[in-house]
Amino acid sequence: MPTLLFKSESDSPQRWTAALQSLMPDLKVCVWPRLDDKRDVEYALVWIPVEDALHSLPNLQVIFSLGAGIDHLLGDAGLPRGVPVVRMVDPALTTGMSEYLLFHVLRYHRRMSDYALQQRLLCWKQLPQARPQARKIGIMGLGVMGTDIAGKLVALGFEVAAWSRRYKEMPEVRCFHGDDGLGAFLARTQILICLLPLTTNTRHILNAQTLSALPAGAVVINVGRGGHVVEADLLRALDSGQLSGATLDVFDAEPLPRTHLFWRHPKITITPHIASLTDPDTAAVHIVDNIRRHRAGAPLTGLVDVGAGY
Ligand code: NDP
Ligand code: OXD
């Protein structure tokens, strides 16, 4: 009988156990710190802090992350090195992200903040309406989630570009890659979506230099990680008018401290890291599928390249 150790302070062990066992009834799920015999544990499903939960599990084969973004887990001192790490990849998580991004892109595209302001002023005024073909969206990160939102924006008629680490092609998406491609990507982007993983190469990528490379009046939607943004540079770009708005779902410090300037900034929309939430009922499919793959000696899906940091 395969045994999985579950440890998370922010996810429900009952919901996860039920979801996993509905798909794999013979899976034994132990919830940290209740463990009968450490030698039985082959799989772990965890979120930070890992603490000493994974230490001295002599037969641990695969560590599953409860998150798609892996930066926190890779940075956790409790993560044993050398054991394969699999991140969360779930079509429902991806769909949730695309819903969030479509909502905010359309909100900016259709100038809903301007109309909200007009309503407060009792002002009845029709503003010019741009065609989607005239709106240039740029997606940083053309991975699982970036590819999905890119396709959905293309389907709506937007002019879409994406920027990735390695060369990529996608129909009707202008693809840029690497340091050399960044300048041209930013120069044409009016609505910038950050869907990058946080790595040593992407930390602080939204800074004074990159924000000033966007066309004046651009907007930024950050759903990657707070560490992608140099907060003071973002505030300066908003206050100078270089940026006309920012939607931020992720922050360096979460929960965002009540005294943080972002909260009350008129050009910032804040959400509490909810762009897409993992649902055990759908996400368990990915875990169970990978356990089956592992037991059959097949390649795992969502395997993290620890060296690359994602
Ligand atoms: P993927 O690993 O599938 O995609 C990552 C993309 O980023 C790839 O296209 C990769 O390029 C690109 N990338 C990585 N490093 C660089 C770099 N140095 N320069 C340029 N491009 C780079 O990740 P997902 O799409 O699944 O998720 C993306 C991120 O979204 C997660 O890491 C997480 O931080 C965030 N997230 C946020 C959530 C929220 O609720 N706010 C929910 C879920 C995820 P290449 O294709 O060449 O490898
Ligand atoms: C994730 C997240 O990475 O929720 O899954 O941010």
* pLDDT (mean) for 64-71: 97
Q: Let me know if 174 is a catalytic residue.
A: no
Q: Please provide the average confidence, as pLDDT, over all residues in the chain.
A: 97
Buried b (16+ CB within 10 A) or exposed e, 157-196: ebbbbbbbbeebebeebebbbeeebbeebbeebbbbbbbb
Q: Which atom of ligand 2 is nearest to the CA of 66?
A: 5
Q: Which atom of ligand 2 is nearest to the CA of 93?
A: 5
Distance 249 CA to ligand 2 centre (A): 11
Ligand 2 neighbours (beta carbon < 6 A): 67-69, 88, 278
Distance 230 CA to ligand 2 centre (A): 20
| The residue to which tokens 């651009």 are assigned | 218
Distance 287 CA to ligand 2 centre (A): 16
CA 83 to chain centre: 23
Q: Let me know if 273 is a catalytic residue.
A: yes
* Radius of gyration, CA atoms only, the chain: 21
Confidence check: pLDDT of 127 > 90: yes
The bound ligand whose nearest atom lies closest to the alpha carbon of 99 is 1
Q: Which atom of ligand 1 is nearest to the CA of 308?
A: 15
Nearest CA, atom 1, ligand 1:
143
* pLDDT (mean) for 283-296: 98
Looking at 107, 225, 228, 294, which residue is catalytic? 225
DSSP 228-243: GB-HHHHHHHHHHTSE
Please indicate whether residue 144, judged by its CB atom, sits closer than 6 Å to ligand 1. Answer: yes
Distance 195 CA to ligand 1 centre (A): 5
Please indicate whether residue 276, judged by its CB atom, sits closer than 6 Å to ligand 1. Answer: yes
Q: Hey, what are 21's tokens?
A: 């066992």
Q: Which atom of ligand 1 is nearest to the CA of 196?
A: 7
User: What tens digit of pLDDT does each residue of 191-245 get?
Assistant: 999 999 999 999 999 999 999 999 999 999 999 999 999 999 999 999 999 999 9
User: What tens digit of pLDDT does each residue of 20-33 get?
Assistant: 999 999 999 999 99
* pLDDT (mean) for 29-44: 95
Confidence check: pLDDT of 56 > 90: no
Nearest CA, atom 6, ligand 2:
69
Neighbours of 81 (CB within 10 A): 7
